[in-house]
């Protein structure tokens, strides 16, 4: 299986893994095939390969698939959030957590800070299976961007390269009083911009037509 999502990884890098059929043993050549998107588009930077490795499939290989909850990268988070981290087993044997426990750790930094651990001591995860692990009581109430660093610790892990994940979450303010007014002079105001080929940016407009903000010096501007 492979992952192809530019929101994963760092700097556009993503990790892809594929199981090689035993019929390929002894083959001297490796060929990469690039599959474009449905519209045939590709970023101007092109493609790159690095850190290529061929290794036997380990007996036990728990790894992080991704953050399942929250599904988005921003929201009005509180001080008692439950995060769900998807983990899988890329090994060939079923992992029994009653025999060997799995520790899921989370370190939060940035607008919010904290350290959280969940220890799995019951249940199993078979080869190729994905299960969700809850991390409860996470405080994300402070407005701003927080970095969430997840890691796994498991005795007998055959491959530790898939044990870490770093994501960013933006906590937005809850609007509870009206009229609501935001002039963006104190910051981005909890606003975020997303979308394909997104060009919205926060700062001082300096365009051919839009020069300067409506008031003060900062605004959200595109172009």
pTM of the model: 0.75
Instruction: Please tell me which residue, 10 or 109, carries the higher pLDDT value.
Output: 109
3-state secondary structure of 32: coil
**133: β partners:** 85
The dihedral of CA 182, 183, 189, 193: what is its sign? positive
For position 5, what pLDDT does the model report? 42
For position 172, what pLDDT does the model report? 92
CA angle 90, 95, 101 (to 5 degrees): 115
pLDDT of 154-203, one tens digit each? 998 888 889 999 999 999 999 999 999 999 999 888 898 888 888 999 99
Percentage with pLDDT > 90 across the chain: 56
SS (H, E, C) 98-160: CCCCEEEEEEEEECCCEEEEEEECCCEECCCCEEEEEEEEECCCCCEEEEEEEEEEECCCCCH
For position 55, what pLDDT does the model report? 75
CA angle 87, 109, 198 (to 5 degrees): 80
> What confidence tier does 38 reach under pLDDT thresholds 50, 70, 90?
low
Percentage with pLDDT > 70 across the chain: 88
């Amino acid at each position: 299986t492979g992952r192809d999502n530019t929101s994963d990884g760092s700097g556009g890098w993503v990790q892809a893994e594929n199981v090689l059929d035993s019929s390929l043993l002894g083959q001297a050549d490796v060929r990469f095939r690039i599959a474009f998107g449905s519209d045939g588009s590709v970023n101007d930077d092109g493609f790159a390969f690095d850190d290529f490795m061929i290794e036997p499939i380990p007996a036990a290989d728990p790894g992080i698939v991704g953050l399942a909850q929250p599904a988005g990268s921003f929201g009005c988070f509180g001080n008692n959030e439950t995060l769900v981290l998807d983990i899988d087993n890329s090994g060939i044997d079923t992992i029994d957590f009653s025999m060997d426990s799995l520790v899921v750790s989370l370190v939060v930094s940035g607008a919010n800070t904290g350290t959280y651990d969940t220890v799995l001591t019951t249940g199993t995860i078979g080869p190729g299976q994905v299960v969700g692990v809850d991390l409860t009581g996470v405080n994300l109430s402070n407005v701003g961007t927080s970095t969430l660093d997840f890691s796994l610790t498991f005795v007998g892990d055959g491959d530790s390269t898939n044990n870490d994940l770093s994501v960013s979450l933006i906590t937005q303010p809850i609007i509870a009083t009206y009229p609501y007014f935001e002039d963006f002079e104190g910051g981005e105001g909890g606003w975020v911009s997303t979308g394909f080929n997104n060009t919205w940016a926060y700062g001082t407009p300096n365009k051919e037509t839009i020069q300067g903000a409506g008031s003060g010096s900062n605004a959200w501007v595109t172009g």
